[in-house]
Every structure is written in structure tokens, then in C-alpha cells.
Structure 1
Amino acid sequence: MGSASKNDEREEVIQAWYMDDSNEDQRLPHHKDPKEFVSLDKLAELGVLSWRLDADNYETDEKLKKIRETRGYSYMDIIEVCPEKLPNYEEKIKNFFEEHLHTDEEIRYAVSGSGYFDVRDRDEAWIRVWVKKGGMIVLPAGIYHRFTLDTDNYIKAMRLFVGDPIWTPFNRPHDHLPARKEYIEAFVQKEAGTVDATA
């Protein structure tokens, strides 16, 4: 039956599904039984944007340049997450997998390797987003999320940012932060059809 989207090319490099609640190794896929996939359109309703880009030519890619210009991503660096390349690897991986939010967007583009970005849906269920080489995602400010490698134990990711980067994670709960309140207003309540009339 294939997916409802007309052969969305992004789905070759980004896939999403609801997670089971087993405590097995975080780097396993954690599919439910039966598997329950989530469309990239549904992710977009949660504020998670995605693109498929040409990872072999990321230095000169016009499409990436256009996204950066349009969205104001002036800062860029590359991070390699693997035991050999990342100082304090074990501790960092533990921290990345703590549920947290940021007060700015989190933009990640896998130029090589792959990893899992888990995000909460409106009902607090975990959606696992598998980003592979060529996949770029934007997690909106204020969304609770976490990151882990998959069993390949390697991702080389471009990190983009508007202005000077602030990587501060606010571990859950941080519901009082303006970024969290704005996220809920923009993406959680909107769907429920609640309009807050109080100014």
C-alpha cells in the first residue's frame, strides 16, 4: 500500500514511528508491534520540519543555501557523534537522551551516518524520527525531545543556528519557559481548537 504521500523523497532519508515502551537499548528502533509509522506531514503539524538534501555536496548545495537564507541560519558547524570523535562520549550521549527542550530551534542535517530524534506528540507519546544521510530536520523551540545514535553508533551532523549558538538544554519539566508556552499555543492547543481569549 505504500504511504499516503506521493512518493515523498524525504521518506528515503527521514522516517518516523510511534515507539514501544520497552527499556531495551535506546539505540534499537523501538517499533511498536504492529509498526505504527508517522507521516512527515503529521510531524509538520507538531512543528517538526524536514528536507531531503544532497549530503555529498553540502558545501555547495544551492537548496541548503536557500533554506539558510530564508530561515536566517547564519551559524553553522559540524559535529561528529561517535565514541572515537566526541570527547566525553558516554556522558554526552546520556545528556542528549535526557528529555529536554531549547528556547531556540534545533536544526540538524545528517551529512553522514544516522540517528534518532525522539519528539513528544500532543498526547505525550514518543515519536521516533530516524534521520539518515541527506535528511535535515528542524525541531521547534519549546518541543520536548531527545537524541540518540542508532546501532551504527555514528552521525556526522551539521548544526545550524540563527545568530550565535546557544545549546542550553532545559531538562523536563520546564513548562514555565516562554518558549514552551509559545510552542503549546502554536502547535498543541491549535489542533484542539482551543482559543485563549484572555490577552
Structure 2
Amino acid sequence: MMSGIEAWYEDESSEDQKLPHRLKPNQPVTLRQLEQIGVDYWKLNADIYENDPELQKIREEKGFSYMDIITIHPDKLPDYENKVKMFYEEHLHLDDEIRYTLDGSSYFDVRDKDDRWIRIAVSKGDLITLPAGIYHRFTVDESNYTKVMRLFVGEPVWKAYNRPADDSDIRKAYVNSLRCS
């Protein structure tokens, strides 16, 4: 892992989700702070993703056996507007969410230990993992375009559990992991 990602605490504005939503003054979030809530990050060379030995090594070490690619753009994704709204609903998953940005840019929003939103800007070459049980959401930025590799351990599970899901075992395990760190 290496540095290179930009993240910050979000404002409470309900304006367009695709805007940066930085607090004034900006409150940056470090890679170390992201790691403390279970978010992992790598910077890779997306131009060689098909034959990248570093990506292959990560996939083998982490067991990321399944892979597909999705392009999120009005001309490429059927039912684009509804899908973007759905991705932005606050939710969690029973498995880690692993995304590698091959082109374009977007945002992942995650909740910190105090339930505050952190916005993580990802762009070409960023590989990010969100732990199972973390509340999060996703949106494209103002470019309306990102091409992303989705990785899974085993077969993909597309089920999202919208908040509130605090009584789920995976959420309880995630919250307990925060107390231990």
C-alpha cells in the first residue's frame, strides 16, 4: 500500500451528490485514518491491469478470485440515473467491497467511528477495499464517468443491506473490530 488517495470529511449539504462536499475549512482524512476504519488502498498502473504482476499478487494474497468490469456513464450503463441513485443509498454488504478504478473518477463515502461521512475520491489506478459491515455509498463525480473493476472473494454477491442494518451479524462484527483497534 502507498499514499496517494485524497479523502475528507463531508459537509451536510443535500446538494448534488456528484459535488465534492468539502467542509469549509477542509478537514482532510489521512490514509492512516482510513486504515483505522478498515479501508485499504493501493495505487496501481491501470494502463497494464490485464497483465499487472502487482495486481495479480494482490489478488492471489487476498483471494480475489472473481473479476468483472463495469462502466458507469449515461451512454454505457442501462438505467443509469436509477442505478446511480441506488448506489448512493447508504448500505452495507456481507463481504468486502473491492473496486479498482481503471479510468475516470468517482467517490466512495464511508462512515467513521463517530458516524461522520468521509468522502474518498478515487481515480485511475486506485484500488480500494471497504470492509464488510461498513456503512457506505458510491457516486460518480461531475464527470459522470468511471470504469471500474469489481473484485470478489469467490462468487459475487450483489446484495446491499440499506441502513439501518445495525442488528446484522456482519455489522456487529465490524463495530466490534473498531473497538479493538
Indicate the residue corresponding to 2:180 in structure 1. Answer: 190
Please say if 1:123 is aligned against 2:114.
yes
Native 8 Å contact 1:10 1:135 kept in 2:
no
Indicate the residue corresponding to 1:105 in structure 2. Answer: 96
Q: Work out the CA distance in 1 between the residues paired with 2:32 and 2:99.
A: 18
* Partner-residue secondary structure (3-state), 1:146: strand
- Deviation (angstroms), 1:177: 1.2
Indicate the residue corresponding to 1:134 in structure 2. Answer: 125
Please say if 1:149 is aligned against 2:140.
yes
Identity among equivalent pairs (%): 56
For residues 79-104 of structure 1, the C-alpha deviation after alignment (integer angstroms, 9 at most, x for no partner) is 00111111111111111000000000
Q: Work out the CA distance in 1 between the residues paired with 2:139 and 2:39.
A: 17
* Greater share of residues in strand: 2
- Deviation (angstroms), 1:167: 1.1
Q: Work out the CA distance in 2 between the residues paired with 1:74 and 1:9.
A: 23
Q: Give the gaps of 5 or more residues in structure 1.
A: 1-7, 192-199
Runs of 4+ in 1 over 3 A off after TM superposition: none
* Partner-residue secondary structure (3-state), 2:64: coil
Q: Give the gaps of 5 or more residues in structure 2.
A: none
Of 59, 62, 70, the match for 2:53 = 62
Q: Work out the CA distance in 1 between the residues paired with 2:50 and 2:172.
A: 36
Indicate the residue corresponding to 2:69 in structure 1. Answer: 78
CA RMSD across the alignment: 1.0
* Partner-residue secondary structure (3-state), 1:74: strand
- Structure with greater Cα Rg: 1
Of 5, 14, 23, the match for 2:14 = 23
Structure 2 residue identity aligned to 1:130: A
